[in-house]
């Protein structure tokens, strides 16, 4: 089930990433770096607010749902908590506006960012409902629909207005439209449909996650805000273009693996079978590493081809320089977020995660303040990479106090060998441009797959031999 569901989730996210790349490619041709930087500011507001205000609720739902999935009040309780957070964030935004905190030319972008935050958070929560129900096909449809609607909404708005505000509003509308494909019916609102005990349990479990997410947001969205504050809106536009290309590839793929693996791990832990839970977690870590290592390395090795093919000419040089650092940082971040952080949630010790994310935030922000004035956007990418690498080591040791995870040592050795062979062969492919870029992708994929099959990574060789032997055995009998 892990590989089958992960394949569907990865395919859903991968197609979303392809549409996201297409959206980035078009917007970098429709908006100059300054306007695209303002659009990037709305995305900063979206990701910062969604991470702090809403992500904890989805994680809490995933942790509690498996033990109470037959309770009709679970979904209604989570929904009412979500609406409560919407009201709170809207009130805080209104107070900030009345106090004059939100002003200047960034004010419309911040307001558009709030719309993006609410629509994005609603989509992510609705998608988690489908993951918890082990309904990957519905999840697939939601993500594909969102990607298409966002492409149309953002690019049509940019083409018609050349205005970053309307571009952000088009993005928000497309995201909200995708959420409607979740197929939800029968939800109820009101006090009689609120399970107060569950709501208290979700808050006790989730609020430490929210505090941890504040630190994560500082490491991610905060750095992007620093790029504009310490450099310029145009610098943020260049940084955002590279950021979205990497995020639309690596993070979405990792979340596909993590979505399937975490739900299965929760179910295994709830059964009380420690052996089954350990095996499931080992499989989760192995699959995540086997997918993310070649994906990140591939982006690092083909950065020039990615930039030349996908972004406008004003962005190519800087995106080429930024992509390797961002790919490395995203690799460490996805390994931590989609595997190591699960220890804190499975062990119901989410408060320990705060220290991990706080330390990462200190590294990321401190290095950014020092490096951005000296090296521009690439300084921010270096800071993020160092911070995420450090936080991986920190999370592994801190997680031992919550729920010890199995160490996928054999998988690390096999993946490292496959990646080394892949890098050696990709680097000898000559030339620049579209066709050498495609050739590098093909050579990299084939070489990695060949070594993975030879070393029996993920039991690929064993499974293939069993399937090939099946018809012969049936014929002999």
DSSP string, 256-308: HHHHHHHHHHHHHHHTT-HHHHHHHHHHHHHHHHHHHHHHHHHHHHTHHHHHH
Give me the pLDDT at residue 6, please: 62
Q: Report d(CA 164, CA 146) in Å as an integer.
A: 20
Give me the pLDDT at residue 440, please: 93
Give me the pLDDT at residue 470, please: 61
Q: Report d(CA 404, CA 85) in Å as an integer.
A: 33
pLDDT at 5 over 70: no
Q: Report d(CA 219, CA 384) in Å as an integer.
A: 7
Q: What is the pLDDT of residues 417-439, one digit of tens each?
A: 999 999 999 999 988 888 889 99
Q: Report d(CA 111, CA 46) in Å as an integer.
A: 10
- Find the range with the poorest average confidence among 105-114, 307-316, 396-405, 436-445: 105-114
**Of residues 48, 242, 26, the one with CA closest to residue 153:** 26
- The larger pLDDT score, comparing residue 12 to residue 175, is at 175
- The larger pLDDT score, comparing residue 248 to residue 296, is at 296
408 in Cβ contact with 352 (< 8 Å): no
Domain ranges of the chain: 2-407, 412-469
Model pTM? 0.78
Mean pLDDT of 173-200: 81
Tell whether the torsion through CA atoms of 459, 461, 462 and 466 is positive or negative: positive
- Cβ neighbours of residue 180 under 8 Å, at least 6 residues apart? none
């Amino acid at each position: 089930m892990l590989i089958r569901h992960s394949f569907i989730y990865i395919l859903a996210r991968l197609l979303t990433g392809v549409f996201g790349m297409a959206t980035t490619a078009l917007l970098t041709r429709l908006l100059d770096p300054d306007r695209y930087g303002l659009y990037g500011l709305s995305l900063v507001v979206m990701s910062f607010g969604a991470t702090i205000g809403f992500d904890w609720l989805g994680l809490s739902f995933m942790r509690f749902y498996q033990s109470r999935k037959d309770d009709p009040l679970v979904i209604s309780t989570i929904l009412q908590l979500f609406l409560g957070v919407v009201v709170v964030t809207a009130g805080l935004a209104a107070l900030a506006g009345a106090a004059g905190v939100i002003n200047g030319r960034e004010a419309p972008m911040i307001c558009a960012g709030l719309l993006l935050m609410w629509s994005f958070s609603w989509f992510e929560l609705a998608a988690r409902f489908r993951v918890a129900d082990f309904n990957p096909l519905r999840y697939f449809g939601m993500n594909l629909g969102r990607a298409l609607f966002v492409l149309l909404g953002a690019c049509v708005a940019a083409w018609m207005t050349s205005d970053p505000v309307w571009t952000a509003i088009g993005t928000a509308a497309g995201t909200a439209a995708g959420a409607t494909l979740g197929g939800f019916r029968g939800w109820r609102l009101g006090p009689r449909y609120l399970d107060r005990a569950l709501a208290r349990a979700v808050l006790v479990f989730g609020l430490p996650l929210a505090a941890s997410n504040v630190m994560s947001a500082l490491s991610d969205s905060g750095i992007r805000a620093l790029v504009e504050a310490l450099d310029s809106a145009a610098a943020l536009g260049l940084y955002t273009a590279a950021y979205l290309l990497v995020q639309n590839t690596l993070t979405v793929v990792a979340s596909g693996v993590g979505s399937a693996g975490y739900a299965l791990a929760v179910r295994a832990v709830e059964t009380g079978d420690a052996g089954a839970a350990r095996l499931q977690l080992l499989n989760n870590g192995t699959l995540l590493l086997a997918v993310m290592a070649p994906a990140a390395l591939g982006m690092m090795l083909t950065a020039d081809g990615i930039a030349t093919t996908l972004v406008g000419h004003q962005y190519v040089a800087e995106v080429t320089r930024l992509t390797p650092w961002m790919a490395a940082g995203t690799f460490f971040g996805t390994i931590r977020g989609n595997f190591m952080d699960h220890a804190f949630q499975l062990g119901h010790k989410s408060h320990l995660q705060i220290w991990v994310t706080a330390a990462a935030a200190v590294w990321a922000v401190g290095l950014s303040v020092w490096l951005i004035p000296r090296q521009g956007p690439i300084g921010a990418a270096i800071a993020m990479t160092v911070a995420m690498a450090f936080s991986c080591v920190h999370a592994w040791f801190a997680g031992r106090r919550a729920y010890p995870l199995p160490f996928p040592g054999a998988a690390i050795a096999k993946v490292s060998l496959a990646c080394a062979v892949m890098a050696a062969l990709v680097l000898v492919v000559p030339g620049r441009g579209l066709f050498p870029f495609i050739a590098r992708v093909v050579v990299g994929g084939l070489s990695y797959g060949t070594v993975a099959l030879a070393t029996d990574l993920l039991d690929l060789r064993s499974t293939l031999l069993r399937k090939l032997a099946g018809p012969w055995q049936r014929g002999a009998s």
